[in-house]
Chains A and B, each alone.
Chain A
Amino acid sequence: MKSLGYKRSTTQYIREWCIELFLLASASAAIFVTLAIVFILISESIPFFKEVSILIFLSDTQWTPLFANPRYGILPLLMGTLVTTGVALSLAIPVGTISAIYLSEYAPARLRETVKPILELLAAVPTVVYGYFALLFVTPLLQKFFPSLPGFNMLSAGLVMGVMIIPYISSLSEDAMRAVPMHMREGAYAMGSTKFQTAINVVMPGALSGITAAYILGISRAIGETMVVAIAAGMQPNFTINPAESAATITAFIVQVSLGDLPHDSIGYQSIFAAGSVLLVITFSFNILGFLVKKKFRQRY
């Protein structure tokens, strides 16, 4: 084989190859992190489930791992997570969606470009600061209207969490709405629709999967949120659906144990990995759901 003259040196080939290998290794890091998460949660939960049957874990309504006579039912923690998430969503979904419609369909471009980054700052505030705000501003405020509200309650924690996830919902929904092609809107306007009717009848259905993906991300954030609930909702497991009571979530329990001094091999300590596994399974399911919805979204446009 004849050479072309400008033969590249062997070192250059080797360098190119080494660089590609390094880049590939970096990209593979994501796989290792996922594997590490799954491996640790499973391997550290196994000793726990040797002591406690999965059936009891999933059906007992008491969670008292630190008591002398411990009981390990995840339901109270799960309920705490569900109630705080429910409160957060019942604030964030309507406010986030309406804000998104306003920004996408009504707001002048300059207002939108100014407000959107500021709104996104709501998601940038550290969660521990939100915890402070919930405990020492929102709860006292609510107590003025409901004097019987305890100092720790899921209501104010949930509401503040709701504020925190508004930008996730509004930003992503707005992106989806703006991706709806103009000619679809024109069809509605040509028949005499108002902006509101166009938004409801054309834009929202057109952006449905994007909006759904935004909701799912919001739900997943609320379920995994830790500091707001740990600070403002209390750390006592409480099997209740009443948001005005105090209760611990799965995440708050993990924080509580981490703050304490339990020995590494005690069952109380291992219980945080079992609780973490439940949390991962739930958020993982929502991630998959969001992924599927988004995939459908991509096919449409």
Chain B
Amino acid sequence: MRPVAVVSTAQRQEPELSGLTEVELMAPLIEKARSAVGLTQADIGFTCSGSSDFLAGQAFSFVMTLDAVGPVPPIAESHVEMDGAWALYEAWVKLQIGEIDTALVYSYGKSSPGSIRDVLATQLDPYYVAPLWPDSWALGALQARVLLEGGVVSERRMAEIAARSQSHAAGNANAVRAGTPTVDDLLDTAFVADPLRPHDCAATADGGVAVVLAADDRAGDLSDRPAWIRGIDHRIDAHHFGVRDLVAAPSAALAARHAGLGSDRVDIAELHSPFTTSEHLLTDALGLDEAAVTINPSGGALAGDTLMASGLMRIAEVADRISAGTADRGVAHASSGPWLQQNLVCVMGAD
């Protein structure tokens, strides 16, 4: 495949961005990502974004946000109703065709206007499941129960994952949940959805992220140390609850294999895990050796989960570390749907 790299990123994440519209949130981030590599919109070959009308509570919500790009004169542009990681995938595909050399990808989400755990219930089977309004924590708890009873994880292991996330997040200005709790402290807290405690559930956030991609020599022109995409793939599992295996994440493992993870050593992994239990599953599905790989150096999605942007933020976090020289190889992961139904894996490196 044609070499494509992340050459610039900009992101912002807070517990609640109640004073800004999506346009006001994204315009400075898009400008920051472009200008950091000396580009204007006229230099961008293709633009792609990801967002959700159900988060915004408005049909066609992405249309107004397009103003943040400044699409005059007209631009080659598309939008996915998915996490921005899939928008990046679409842009990567366009770059493979070989007619353009640069792309802008952005995504954003504000879950604060609605009740996110109820909003997510509308993703479920509309005839049999959604009318029961199972909230997203309850679904996470169902899976956690299966994992605990099956001896796949322990509550202590879950708390260890949470503690690690929070301590890594202490160095991340965009994280919304950071600290240095002990595992015993965490295990002392009350359940929110038994067997899940607050620290087991990702900290919901508002935010956005913009990324510039460049291909071939253009990447080297724009960045001293581009974060090359060595492999990228995404897969989906079945949706219906009766056919899901809750102790595995088969589409994550499949995407990892197709992205070439496993043939490469990686230094860091950024995982979009909505729960501590899903982080455990993902570590296994991606075959990550925790002794050799730093998991979620930013704190990961557990430390701040901006729905529709979390996956692209994971890619940005890995790219930033590669470009800064603090990592040589890394893997970023994005997920969507209940119980990690859909997964994207992006393997990146300095070479």
Query: Do A and B interact with each other, yes or no?
Result: no
Residue numbers of A with Cβ under 8 A of B are none
